[in-house]
């Protein structure tokens, strides 16, 4: 049995807008992060480059949080 919060998240994930949101995040935001990563790498800013690379790697994990919440992985 799902809690009220889990039911609300399940409804969000079932909504077509969720796929649109994921697409915007994965394409738009990821593209901007990649551009920032490239420019900081060209400028020799290793710490900023690492920060942007880490953010790119975390995007899929962040978008998977609601699914894990429903499955009980709080």
- Tokens 């690492």 correspond to 50
Question: Are 52 and 37 a contacting pair, CB within 8 Å?
Answer: yes
Question: Are 12 and 69 a contacting pair, CB within 8 Å?
Answer: no
Which tens digit of pLDDT belongs to each residue from 57-70?
A: 999 999 999 999 88
Question: Are 63 and 22 a contacting pair, CB within 8 Å?
Answer: yes
Nearest to 60 by CA among 35, 27, 13: 27
Which tens digit of pLDDT belongs to each residue from 14-62?
A: 999 999 999 998 899 999 999 999 999 999 999 999 999 999 999 999 9
């Amino acid at each position: 049995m799902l809690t009220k919060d889990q039911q609300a998240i399940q409804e969000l994930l079932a909504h077509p807008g969720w796929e649109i949101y994921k697409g915007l995040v994965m394409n738009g935001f990821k593209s901007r992060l990649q551009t920032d990563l490239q420019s900081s790498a060209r400028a020799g800013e290793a710490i900023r480059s690492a920060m942007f690379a880490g953010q790119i790697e975390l995007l899929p994990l962040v978008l998977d949080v609601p699914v894990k919440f429903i499955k009980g992985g709080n």
